[in-house]
Amino acid sequence: MKFGPFEGSIEDATCPLCIDRNSSAQLIFKNRDGIGFYKCLGCNLMLASPRFTEESMLKIYENEAFADLSMYDNWSYEEWRQSRSRSYNIEQQKILLVKRYLPEKSRLLDVGCGTGLFVLEATRSGFLCEGIEPSMRLSGIGSNVLKVPVSTVQIEDYNITYKFNGIVIWDVLEHLYDPVRVMRRCGELLESDGFLFLQVPNYKGISNSYKTQLHRLGLKNNFKHFGFPWHVYSFDRKSLSVLSRQAGFKPVLFESWSHLLKDGKTGSLSQIIINLARQQCLSDYIVCVAQKY
Ligand SMILES: [Zn+2]
């Protein structure tokens, strides 16, 4: 199959959370390439089908220079901090979230840490933090430019002698064909009452819902907001709850961070929108904290 510039083998997808329950799925939209976007009626997970096989997708990742890494060319932590850019503000939100659940000196692991910006900020905030990242290009920046402890490894192959108090997994699960397996592996690496902090796309966010409606009304036809082929799933609170419980976690918080918050716009009117988006999970990404049980 060809999809835009990408080529590979394809397969039909079924809900990874309802494998034994044979739940049916509702077609939300089919784009002109024949890719369907379905909502599982058992758990509310949204999935793309057909999709590239996992093997084909790994090849696509290998060939893709997907991230703009120019900000690391003449990297200066002070300049990054003073820029108050979105990337800086997002890391601050993550740190504030983790601090609500874990004290200083807690041991943290960032799964799929990219270049290691969170590892850097968490370390500066008094946590003992390390990261793992399968892409050598990204982990290399972490080790050589940010100078943080980042290992080039997949979580399945990551073996250590100690356990973590918290694991963060930002913007990763929507890429994984078997998110339950990876979350269970996180559970094995966590202390018994440890916390998992995660963020995934939220198809019930205002902007995502609006774009989906435009497609269903026939006014748009590429379903680009889903993020296919990289993203194979999108979530809401219910599907995240089902996923968490299957992996041995109890969800303790859902919230979302608005663009205003990420852009550092904190005037009083902005604050009202920021709080509403946070409480009602109205943004296009949803944050979940889940505790191991
Ligand atoms: Zn399902």
- For residue 29, the CA-to-ligand 1 centroid distance in Å is 17
Query: In this structure, is residue 70 part of a structural domain?
Result: no
Q: What is the mean pLDDT of residues 42-67?
A: 88
- For residue 49, the CA-to-ligand 1 centroid distance in Å is 14
Are the beta carbons of 151 and 158 closer than 8 angstroms?
yes
- For residue 66, the CA-to-ligand 1 centroid distance in Å is 30
- For residue 42, the CA-to-ligand 1 centroid distance in Å is 5
Q: What is the mean pLDDT of residues 22-50?
A: 93
- In the chain, the number of structural domains is 1
In this predicted model, what pLDDT tens digit does every residue of 173-213 receive, in sequence order?
Answer: 999 999 999 999 999 999 999 999 999 999 999 999 999 99
- For residue 211, the CA-to-ligand 1 centroid distance in Å is 23
Q: What is the pLDDT of residue 2?
A: 83
Query: In this structure, is residue 102 part of a structural domain?
Result: yes
pTM for the model: 0.94
The CA-based diameter of the chain, rounded to the nearest angstrom, is 55
Are the beta carbons of 202 and 284 closer than 8 angstroms?
yes
Q: What is the pLDDT of residue 266?
A: 79
In which residue are the tokens 């559970």 written? 187
**pLDDT band for position 65 (cuts 50, 70, 90):** low
Among 17-31, 53-67, 83-97, 277-291, where is mean pLDDT lowest? 53-67
- Element at 182 (helix H, strand E): helix 179-189
**How many Å apart are CA 71 and CA 59, to the nearest integer?**
26
- For residue 281, the CA-to-ligand 1 centroid distance in Å is 21
Query: In this structure, is residue 37 part of a structural domain?
Result: no
- For residue 39, the CA-to-ligand 1 centroid distance in Å is 8
Query: In this structure, is residue 65 part of a structural domain?
Result: no
Are the beta carbons of 284 and 201 closer than 8 angstroms?
yes
Query: In this structure, is residue 105 part of a structural domain?
Result: yes
Pairing of strands 128-132, 107-111: parallel
In which residue are the tokens 């774009």 written? 211
Query: In this structure, is residue 238 part of a structural domain?
Result: yes
Q: How far is CA 167 from its chain centroid?
A: 13
- For residue 47, the CA-to-ligand 1 centroid distance in Å is 9
- For residue 231, the CA-to-ligand 1 centroid distance in Å is 16
Domain containing residue 166: CATH number = 3.40.50.150
- For residue 160, the CA-to-ligand 1 centroid distance in Å is 33
Query: In this structure, is residue 237 part of a structural domain?
Result: yes
Which one, of 280, 190, 212, 197, lies nearest residue 244 by Cα?
197
- For residue 22, the CA-to-ligand 1 centroid distance in Å is 9
Residue 64 has pLDDT above 90, yes or no: no
Q: Which residues of 94-107 are buried (b: 16+ CB within 10 A; e: fewer)?
A: bbebbeebbeeebb
Q: What is the mean pLDDT of residues 219-223?
A: 91
**pLDDT band for position 84 (cuts 50, 70, 90):** confident
- For residue 200, the CA-to-ligand 1 centroid distance in Å is 16
Are the beta carbons of 264 and 207 closer than 8 angstroms?
no
φ, ψ for residue 128, nearest 5 deg: -95, 100
Q: What is the pLDDT of residue 66?
A: 62
Q: What is the pLDDT of residue 121?
A: 97
- For residue 186, the CA-to-ligand 1 centroid distance in Å is 21
Which token pair is 252? 């303790």
Q: What is the pLDDT of residue 233?
A: 98
Q: What is the pLDDT of residue 197?
A: 98
Q: What is the pLDDT of residue 201?
A: 98
Among 151-155, 225-229, 266-270, where is mean pLDDT lowest? 266-270
Instruction: Name the more confident of 167 and 259.
Output: 167
Residue 60 has pLDDT above 90, yes or no: no
Query: In this structure, is residue 84 part of a structural domain?
Result: yes
Residue 94 has pLDDT above 80, yes or no: yes
Mean pLDDT estimate for the chain: 94
Structural domain including 166 reads 77-292
Q: What is the pLDDT of residue 1?
A: 83
